[in-house]
Every structure is written in C-alpha cells, then in structure tokens.
Amino acid sequence: MRNVQCCGTRSFFIEVSGVAAIVLTLMLLCFSLTAYADDSAGAATFKAKCAMCHGADGAGTTPMGAKLNIPNLVSPEVQKKPDASLVGTIAKGKNKMPEFGSKLSPDQITQVKDYIREIARKH
C-alpha cells in the first residue's frame, strides 16, 4: 500500500499491484498500437490507390472525381452499404473504378474499407 496525499488536505490509500499495473499498461499499449497500425496501413493504401480520384477526405471532389462522377465515400448512401458491398467494390471495381483485388491483399482491402468508415466518422 502507498499513501498518496492530494493538495495536502486529504489522504487517499491506493493499493497498486505492480504486476497488475504492468499487465494492464502493456495490454492498453498493444491495443493502441494495433489500432494505430491498422489505421496507418489503411490510410497509406487509400492515399496510394484511391485518393487520386476520391480525394484525401473521400469526398470525390478531385478533378478526376468530377470527370468520372464518382460517389462521395463519406456520404450516407455509401456509408449505409454493408461491409461486404464495399469490399466487393474495392476488389472487383465498379463502373469506371478499376478492380484492386489483383493488386491488394484481402487484408489491405479490409483496411481500406475500415479507413473509408473512419474518414466518414471524422466528418
């Protein structure tokens, strides 16, 4: 047990188990790094393969996006589509959008789909 005083007026007794604190810290760190790594991979792939037409924000307001009349990826119409539909569109292409199933791994396609969901939440 450790006695910790706050503002010099009250004492709080905090029992800290060293092992439990270390395990909890490591678990939180691993979770945070995994989530960050997935977001980074999806963002990097989106930037390399999708942003030229869809734009960095996914809104499709690029010159190429306007020319091809591509959908706004953050719009409710796109966001209400099931994950399988987005994955299928990324993998197989649609209209003038090329397929990426031969260029990206299934994990990369899922990461791009997740990133599309994430950028919509940020708007």
The two structure tokens encoding residue 95:
């209209």
Rg of the chain (C-alpha set): 22
Topology of the domain comprising 2-122: Cytochrome Bc1 Complex; Chain D, domain 2 (1.10.760)
Buried b (16+ CB within 10 A) or exposed e, 61-97: ebeebeeeebbbbbeeebbeeeeeebbbbbbeeeeeb
Ordered by start, the domain boundaries in the chain are 2-122
Q: Under a CB-based contact definition with an 8 Å cutoff, are residues 39 and 118 in contact?
A: yes
| pLDDT tens per residue across span 36-79 | 444 579 999 999 999 999 999 999 999 999 999 999 999 999 99
pLDDT, tens digit (0-9, with 9 covering 90-100), for 76-113: 999 999 999 999 999 999 999 999 999 999 999 999 99
pTM value is: 0.68
* CB-side neighbour CA atoms (13 Å) of 13: 1
